[in-house]
Structure 1
Amino acid sequence: MSNDRHGISVGIERSGSKFYMTFVAVGKLTHEDYLYMVPMLESAIAGVEEPEINVLADISELDGWELRAAWDDLKLGVAHGKSFEKIAIVGEGRLQEWMAKMTDWFTPYDAKFFESKKEAREWLND
């Protein structure tokens, strides 16, 4: 069994008058990580009619996905993509910036890459 730290944490933050969800992804994500995270997300948006969720996603410590976890991520995006309005992706390096651009191209919400959480929060508050 590996002692490598990995997983997803989900939270809610407020900046000014706006609330947004936060995701922090660490390490190489597994199917089990999604089994834990997806019910939390679905619980958070349950009962909200026509949700327009802004998200701050910190992937600066993300090392990738196992194949099954990548499939879980795709299914999550398909099932709930219309619930999201904007996703600010905070990361490091060209590969993570490229991943954010791919997200923007293939999803119904606005996604933008940032190297700073401060800039990401400012964009979400516009």
Structure 2
Amino acid sequence: MSIKRHGISVGVERIGDDDFFLTFKAVGKLTHEDYQRMVPMLESAIAGVEDPDIYAVCDVTELEGWEARAMWDDLKLGIKHGKHFEKIAVVGNSTAQEWLTKIADWFTPADVKFFVTQFDAIVWLKD
């Protein structure tokens, strides 16, 4: 019997007046519905803060891809809130994920870096 896992887990923690620590783990294929759950959580957390600074760790070790509509949702999130992301640490386990992270760094105002361990990613976010 095979069980196909899918989903996201998101955590948002406020540190001080305007710093936010976002944790994101994707399992399986990201869907539009995943973004429908995640984006309101993020927007609710930063509501009322004039210029929030977001530090994110994104675990993609179990990510299998995106639906096309989910890619569009990701682009819209970046356009709307991209200026608030200071650092994005991507935790992965493949060369393709590492290359995609490097490409994302070119097109994102945030500092984006790839890591193999979550510990190293968090240490970098705190620097």
Scaled by the length of structure 2, the TM-score of the pair is: 0.89
Could you list the per-position Cα deviations for residues 9-49 of structure 1 after superposition, in whole angstroms to 9, with x for gaps in the alignment? 1113599xx86110111110111111111111111111112
Distance across 1 between alignment mates of 2:77 and 2:120: 26
Which residues in structure 2 correspond to 1:23-34 (within 5 Å)?
23-34=24-35
* 1:64 counterpart letter in structure 2: G
* Pairing 1:12–2:5 present: no
**Structure 2: runs of 5 or more not aligned:** none
Distance across 1 between alignment mates of 2:87 and 2:123: 12
Q: Which residue number corresponds to residue 109 of structure 1?
A: 110
Scaled by the length of structure 1, the TM-score of the pair is: 0.89
Q: Which residue number corresponds to residue 118 of structure 1?
A: 119
Distance across 1 between alignment mates of 2:6 and 2:125: 26
Distance across 1 between alignment mates of 2:87 and 2:77: 16
1:59 Cα shift? 0.7
Q: Are residues 46 and 19 of structure 1, via their aligned partners in 2, closer, same or farther at CA, if it must alter by over 3 Å?
A: closer
SS at match of 2:21: strand
SS at match of 1:100: helix
Q: Which residue number corresponds to residue 76 of structure 1?
A: 77
SS at match of 2:125: helix
**Structure 1: runs of 5 or more not aligned:** none
Distance across 1 between alignment mates of 2:109 and 2:69: 23
The root-mean-square deviation of aligned C-alpha atoms, in Å, is 1.8
Q: Are residues 87 and 32 of structure 1, via their aligned partners in 2, closer, same or farther at CA, if it must alter by over 3 Å?
A: same
* 1:123 counterpart letter in structure 2: W
Q: Which residue number corresponds to residue 95 of structure 1?
A: 96
Distance across 1 between alignment mates of 2:41 and 2:20: 17
SS at match of 1:82: helix
Between the two proteins, what is the percent identity of the paired residues? 65
SS at match of 2:48: coil
1:109 Cα shift? 0.5
